[in-house]
A and B are shown apart, each in its own frame.
Chain A
Amino acid sequence: MQVPLSEILTLTAVGLLLSTFGVVVRRSFEGWLSAYRYQSVVLAGSTAVIAYETGLWEIYAAAVLTLVVKAVIIPRLLVRVTDSVKDEFKIEANPLVSIRLSLLISALLIALSYGLIHETLISANLDVYALTYLPVSLSLFFIGLFVMVSRRMALNQVVGLLIIENGLFLFTTALTQGVSLIIEVGILADILVGVMISALLLLRMSQTFDSFDMASLESLKDD
């Protein structure tokens, strides 16, 4: 049976949005990471669909790189770095905005990004990729930002940053259909280094303050 392209694109968009909900609703570090992993797998899949339709080998390479770096290396790296951290610091027990409210706000943010894209870009002559993925990338960006500002735990903020990055990746891929591969590799290396640096900072933080709570950074330590 011939399934039309726009259906496949929409299904991957649905998968991306649902995995983003997964990051918002889960309370534990493992939960965020597994939701992020699903998101990266779907992202790689949608990149591969774009590659298949356009026939550019650079996008295939970008899809494979996304799969390897984001779905395997980054989650493992984060798990390994936080191995020594106590479990009680890995759960978001008391977020600034409650989990339920943040879910509803995320749904509103998705509605907002769809509205924005359709208001502003409906006259611009966009192809089907951009039309499907631009609102999704914008919602990933918004929700990632929202997760970063509304949670206390530093680990959760790292995951929020990763979601934002996924959204940006989707944005460029959908809009340009393949920036040159060297730029993609550069961006991925950038994220990898970014995650490593934030992991180092997290380790220092847990050693110095014995907590990942961002609120405790505001008080000075006098010893």
Chain B
Amino acid sequence: MTSLAADVVSALQVGAVVALAPLLTGIMRKVKARTQKRMGASVFQPYYELSKLWVKDEVVSESTSWIFSSTPWIVAVATVTAAFFVPVFLPFSPFSAAGDLLLVVGLLALARFFTMLAGIDAASAFGGIGTSREMMISSLVEPGLFLTIFVVSLTLGGTNLTSLVVAAAKTGVVIAPSMLFALISLFVIILAETGRLPFDNPATHLELTMVHEAMVLEYSGRSLALLEWSQSTKQLVLLALLVNLFLPLGMPTSIEAGVTMLGLGSVAVLLKVCLLAAVVAYVETRVAKWRLFRVPDLLAVAIAVAMVGMVFFYL
């Protein structure tokens, strides 16, 4: 494949990720509503919300600084840049020579850091609550996340995302036991990273238990649309990463596999991500939000499981 064709294909990939991310949020909401015996809004509802927010006026508190107004753009840019590094639909990502899995984690952490800063910038009580909780959760997520990354890198070789996904696609259906532990650990971590139950309830707007919503409570209009869109994109990227690393069924082993195989692979990824999203939504229906100080228990499970995965690797 020539470099120009590769650039076009990968730009299309990132475009598809950004365009389809709200749809995934819509599907998750729909599944959640149906498992709770509600009809739920259409799966395209997030698009309507985003387009409504995009044209609405913004209300910005007078006491805020430049951090508040620039945060939505920083978050959006960091998240989309992270999407450039992740092979979502194809076993290839444009920037994978320039950065690896750790860089993706770093970019998402940058987005999270600025969200936290913006939460305290407006000096409202809710923002402070949300920020302190987010800091607690994210600092506890890191060790589990890095142990999981170690297990994955050791098992599949390297931290380069393209080579990781290709290596996973080559192993096929039979999954190594260490990867099985890493899968469980990463699932818990993704629930925490994307702010799903039992860590955070994405459906609330005015509760004392909220975390992410509390940080972005001051935002309105276009900024809010950007933040919500980035959150959806982050969710799609992380779920696709989980699918591509651990359930690579249908993913072609090379970008040279031909248009038909690549197309089938993309459809397979899309279906698997939707299925995983449905599982997450079902889990959200089954569990209640945990008390904040019990959250470390669950993250300790993730750490312990990743540690056992490491043991299984060195077996």
> Which segment, of A103-111, A186-194, A198-206, A213-221, faces chain B?
A103-111
Residue pair A21, B311 in contact (C-beta under 8 Å): no
The interface size bin for chain B is 20 to 34
Q: Are A11 and B177 in contact (CB under 8 A)?
A: yes
Complex CA gap A50/B80 in Å reads 50
Which A residues are CB-close (under 8 A) to B303? 103-104, 107
Q: Is the interface of A mostly helix, strand, loop or mixed?
A: helix
Q: Is B297 an interface residue (CB 8 A)?
A: yes
Check B174 for interface membership: any CB of A closer than 8 A.
yes
| B184 A18 Cβ-Cβ under 8 A | yes
Q: Do residues B315 and A106 form an inter-chain contact, with CB atoms below 8 A?
A: no
Q: Closest CB of chain A to B64's CB: distance in Å?
A: 37
B308 at interface by CB-CB < 8 Å: yes
- Please determine whether B297 and A107 come into contact, CB atoms closer than 8 angstroms: no
Shortest Cβ distance from residue A117 to the other chain B in the assembled complex, whole angstroms = 10
- CB-CB nearest in chain B for A105: B304
Q: Is the CB of B177 within 8 A of A10?
A: yes
When the two chains form the complex, which single residue of A11, A21, A99, A108 contacts B180, counting CB atoms closer than 8 Å?
A: A11
Q: A21-B304, A100-B297 are in contact. Are A114 and B177 (CB under 8 A)?
A: no
Of A10, A25, A107, which contacts B308 at CB under 8 A? Answer: A107
Alpha-carbon distance A118/B311, docked complex (angstroms):
12
Is A3 within 8 A of B308, CB to CB? no
B311 touches A100 (CB 8 A): no
CB distance A110 to B315 under 8 Å? Answer: no
Q: How far is the CA of A4 from the CA of B173 in the complex (A)?
A: 12
Chain B nearest CB from A111 CB (Å) reads 5
Chain A contact residue count (CB 8 A cutoff): 23
Find chain A residues with CB under 8 A from B310 CB: 111
Q: Which residues on B sit within 8 Å (CB–CB) of A7?
A: 174
A51 within 8 A of B: no
Residues B307 and A104 in contact, CB atoms below 8 Å apart: yes
A74 within 8 A of B: no
Check B177–A107 contact: CB distance below 8 A: no
Q: Are B307 and A107 in contact (CB under 8 A)?
A: yes
Cβ contact within 8 Å between A110 and B311: yes
Identity of the chain B residue whose Cβ is nearest the Cβ of A131 in the assembled complex:
B315
Does the CB pair A103–B311 fall under 8 Å? no
A1 CA to B172 CA in the complex, in Å? 12
B13 → chain A closest CB, angstroms? 30
What are 26 residue pairs bridging A and B, where the CB atoms are less than 8 Å apart in the complex? A1-B173, A7-B174, A11-B180, A13-B177, A14-B177, A17-B308, A18-B305, A21-B301, A21-B304, A21-B305, A25-B297, A25-B298, A25-B300, A100-B297, A103-B300, A103-B301, A104-B304, A107-B305, A107-B307, A107-B308, A107-B311, A108-B307, A110-B308, A110-B311, A111-B311, A118-B315
Give B contacts to A, CB under 8 Å: 173-174, 177, 180-181, 184, 296-298, 300-301, 303-305, 307-308, 310-312, 315
Q: Ordered nearest first, which 9 A-B pairs have the shortest CB separation? A: A100-B300, A107-B304, A107-B307, A103-B304, A103-B300, A111-B311, A10-B177, A99-B297, A110-B308
